[in-house]
Amino acid sequence: MNHKATFDAVPYGRNFDVAGRVAIITGGGQGIGREYARQFAAAGAHAIIAEANFERASAVQDEIIAAGGSAFALHTDVGDQNSVEAMVADVIRRFGRVDVLVNNAGIFTSLKMKPFEEIPFDEWEQVLRVNITGCYLTARAVTSHMRQRNWGRIINITSGSVPLGVRNYLHYVTSKSALIGMTNSMARELGSYGITVNAVQPGGTFTEVPRETLTEEGKSRLIASQCIPREEVPMDLVGLVLFLSTPAASFITGQTIAVDGGLTHW
């Protein structure tokens, strides 16, 4: 194997550019995913909104196009292999490639807090199917295309609940913990193909999606635990996700990077 150092042969300024890239954002119809899609498009990328709720995905697509960006909504159930493979095939037909995959789709805000022994088995299986298997299926579907071009970025969205060991969300915390291990192992397998795999670890991020289980008292305690004592919002995460998608990040892989205002320290 040739171990000679390589780099993306683009002008220095373009090293920090995602213009023209094709970026799939799963769960891009609301919350943090919506902001990823909007900001990829604002930076000149083609934002692919892969979302189980097609009505929401279409609304984000229309919002981006109205602002002058490029977006394409696709109904996708990330936990279903056929649905994922059909989504990626459609992207390849329309755009010819996939440059970036942001594995953002996950089940969380709809979950009710409960002791782990009270979690219904069907609910446990559903969370793991979407939050872990969904990331596996989407990464599996895009990597053959990335390998052909010897370039790719896979970004898995995990959670600050993992190092905190948050109570009463055992299925969610377990799924996000497994995603860190998946990131580490996948990075080993794909690095020689110019494909980086990293995980972004948000803290308690507040979006338009309601969270019935979080009280105002709990919200205040969360913010007080951060080094930067204010609400975390989706835009706080955008900078890192965009950076990891650029040529400038070509030597960063297998990392889990927290963006949580200093809530957790590794």
Report the Cα 149 to chain-centroid distance in Å.
22
Cα separation, 174 vs 158, in Å, equals 10
Long-range pairs for 87-91: beta carbons < 8 A, 24 or more residues apart: 87/24, 87/50, 87/141, 88/24, 88/138, 88/141, 88/142, 88/145, 91/22, 91/24, 91/48
How many residues does the structure list for the chain? 266
Residues that are catalytic: 172
Q: Are 8 and 184 in contact (CB under 8 A)?
A: no
Q: Are 176 and 133 in contact (CB under 8 A)?
A: no
